[in-house]
């Protein structure tokens, strides 16, 4: 008999949820950055073992909504949590437990799903501080099982995966075992491009940027031609993203091309242009079209 089910991720922005999902799945399904609110959509990442399948639902960090975009992100978190078989609550061991974590713990208490707690980033802690972080996590009084992990180095991830698998109900696999993610191809590729923008931008720009893949052409010789837009909200953001003499957009483009080639396993020609799209974060119809629901 096999086991399978859904595990929804919960935690403040930037605690390492997406990094941990990639670690449990064993491949990249979600982009990662050092900026908060990187994840905008619910992304399903599939971890398959011979006898169990865990579908991890990576979610935006829990926060106070500010606009239509963040409101949708928040609603999605609540909906996914209520439909999952378990919640994986991730806290940042390096920063310690704060009011935001306590607020999430309160919300999880109401959601009536079993909660597993991961204290992440223990690679940044010595032994006494790890022990302290685990005790603070215990004091949240939300989870029976608490795992110290480093999503970055992989420490503790196998134990966590095995534990989550054991929590899944008995049932047939939900995804074909070779499948890693449910994202449409153009969304996955757009996200890989956005990751490279996030790496190189600061302050309000990471939040103002969305990437839209408009066209993917697979040629017979193995070349893939991808046309994508980088949307920003103002002319000045556009100027920054293009950079003097086009230097910034060239750097983003060539780094993104390498990531796309790694993902697709062949040569890529990436045609990237920056467009001003005022107020996209408040445009409900556009958010629908972007699959942010």
Distance CA 142, CA 133 (A): 15
Pick from 112, 85, 121: which is nearest to 11 by CA? 121
Q: Which stretch binds ligand GTP (CB under 6 A): 111-119, 144-152, 190-198, 250-258?
A: 144-152
Strand partners, 211: 230
> Is residue 38 at the binding interface for ligand GTP, with CB under 6 A as the rule?
yes
Write the Ramachandran bin of 280: left for phi over 0, alpha for psi from -120 to 50, otherwise beta.
Answer: alpha
CA dihedral 20, 52, 6, 119 (to 10 degrees): -30
Cα angle at 126 between 120 and 130, to 5 degrees?
A: 45
Is 38 near Mg ion (CB under 5 A)? yes
Contacts with ligand GTP, 98-137, as mask; x by CB under 6 A: ----------------------xx-xx-------------
Q: Is 150 in the site for ligand GTP (CB under 6 A)?
A: yes
Question: In the bound complex, what is the minimum distance in angstroms from residue 20's beta carbon to Mg ion?
Answer: 9
Q: Does residue 18 belong to the site contacting Mg ion (CB under 5 A)?
A: yes
The residue assigned the tokens 């409900």 is: 284
Footprint on residues 44-63 left by ligand GTP (CB under 6 A): 60-61
Tokens of 168: 């899944």
Which of 1, 34, 127, 166 is close enough to bind ligand GTP by CB under 6 A?
34
**96 sits near ligand GTP (criterion: CB under 6 A):** no
Instruction: Find which of Mg ion, ligand GTP, none residue 23 binds, CB within 5 to 8 Å per kind.
Output: none
Residue 85 structure tokens: 């078989």
- Name which of ligand GTP, Mg ion, none residue 129 binds, using a CB cut-off of 5 to 8 Å depending on partner kind: none
Q: 13: closest CA among 74, 55, 82, 67? A: 74
**According to the binding rule CB under 6 A, does residue 183 interact with ligand GTP?**
no
| Interface with ligand GTP (CB under 6 A) | 11, 13-19, 32-34, 36-39, 60-61, 120-121, 123-124, 150-152
């Amino acid at each position: 008999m096999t086991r399978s089910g859904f595990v929804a991720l919960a935690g403040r922005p930037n605690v390492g949820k997406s990094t941990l999902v990639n670690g449990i799945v064993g491949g990249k399904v979600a982009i990662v950055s050092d900026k908060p609110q990187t994840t905008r959509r619910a992304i399903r990442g599939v971890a398959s073992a011979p006898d169990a399948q865990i579908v991890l639902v990576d979610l935006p960090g829990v926060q106070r909504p500010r606009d239509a975009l963040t409101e949708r992100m928040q609603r999605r978190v609540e909906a996914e949590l209520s439909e999952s078989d378990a919640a994986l609550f991730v806290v940042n061991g390096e920063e310690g437990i704060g009011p935001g974590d306590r607020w999430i713990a309160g919300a999880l208490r109401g959601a009536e799903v079993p909660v597993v707690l991961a204290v992440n980033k223990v690679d940044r802690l010595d032994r006494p501080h790890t022990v302290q972080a685990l005790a603070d996590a215990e004091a949240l009084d939300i989870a029976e099982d608490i795992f110290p992990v480093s999503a970055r180095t992989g420490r503790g991830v196998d134990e966590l995966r095995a534990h989550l698998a054991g929590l899944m109900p008995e049932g047939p696999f939900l995804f074909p075992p070779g499948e890693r993610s449910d994202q449409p191809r153009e969304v996955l590729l757009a996200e890989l491009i956005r990751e490279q923008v996030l790496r190189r931008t600061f302050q309000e720009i990471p939040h103002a940027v969305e990437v839209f893949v408009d066209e993917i052409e697979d040629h017979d010789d193995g070349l893939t031609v991808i046309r994508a837009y980088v949307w920003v909200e103002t002319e000045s953001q556009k100027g920054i993203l293009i950079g003097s003499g086009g230097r910034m957009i060239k750097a983003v483009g060539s780094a993104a091309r390498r990531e796309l080639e790694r993902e697709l396993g062949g040569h890529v020609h990436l045609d990237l242009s920056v467009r001003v799209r005022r107020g996209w974060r408040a445009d409900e119809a556009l958010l629908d079209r972007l699959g942010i629901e």
